[in-house]
Amino acid sequence: MADSNSGSWTERMSGRERVRHVVELLDEPTPVQEIADRADVSRATADDELQRLQSDDWVTETTVDGTKAYDLNPVRMLFDEVTDLIEAHSRDELESQLADLKAEQEELATEYDVGTLDEFREQLADEELSAAELRERRNVIATWEAINTELGLVKHALQLYDDVVELSSSQTDSPSTLA
């Protein structure tokens, strides 16, 4: 059955496209051979495409256990996410999202009688909690971290909003000076 999935995968996308698809799903630095295996391409094809992606700032080269590896470029990812937020939402919508996220964060702080995520984490070590309570707290930590991440992205989007909108409109509205 894996062969039939593999066949459709290789028929629908070129080797380079498969490498790019695999790279988009990376959540940690990954050796070239593992990327090649996941993309069902030769190591040479994967390495060549990864070098191209690195020159375009999509990935960064690193090493894992002495082996060349690649990871998504975190700076590029941040800017892409912020740009996507700006393109998808008005300033008012982003301000509303910011207020909603802050309210969620404050609800968690009130519910658990803490001021910050760090204080909440300290309670894990200080209090005697059952396994179920610990699992619940780990879920709350994951939620709180996700809220913090979204808050950061929305704040960045609001800070850069005018610049991105202005630059985007000048690219589409102004005549080319190269004509």
Domain of 23 in residue numbering reads as 2-72
In this structure, the answer to whether residues 68 and 82 fall within a common structural domain is no
In this structure, the answer to whether residues 168 and 93 fall within a common structural domain is yes
Please identify, among 72, 96, 115, the residue that sits at the C-terminal boundary of a domain.
72
178 lies in some domain: no
Three-state DSSP class for residue 6: helix
pLDDT of residue 8: 75
Specify the pTM. Answer: 0.68
In this structure, the answer to whether residues 92 and 51 fall within a common structural domain is no
In this structure, the answer to whether residues 139 and 81 fall within a common structural domain is yes
Q: Which of 64, 94, 65 is nearest to 154 (CA)?
A: 94
What is the full per-residue pLDDT of the chain (179 aa) written as tens digits?
344 455 576 788 899 999 999 999 998 999 999 999 999 999 999 999 999 999 999 999 999 999 999 999 989 889 989 999 999 999 999 999 999 999 999 999 999 999 999 999 988 887 788 889 889 999 999 999 999 999 999 999 999 999 988 888 876 554 433 33
Q: Return the structure tokens found at 153.
A: 């992205």
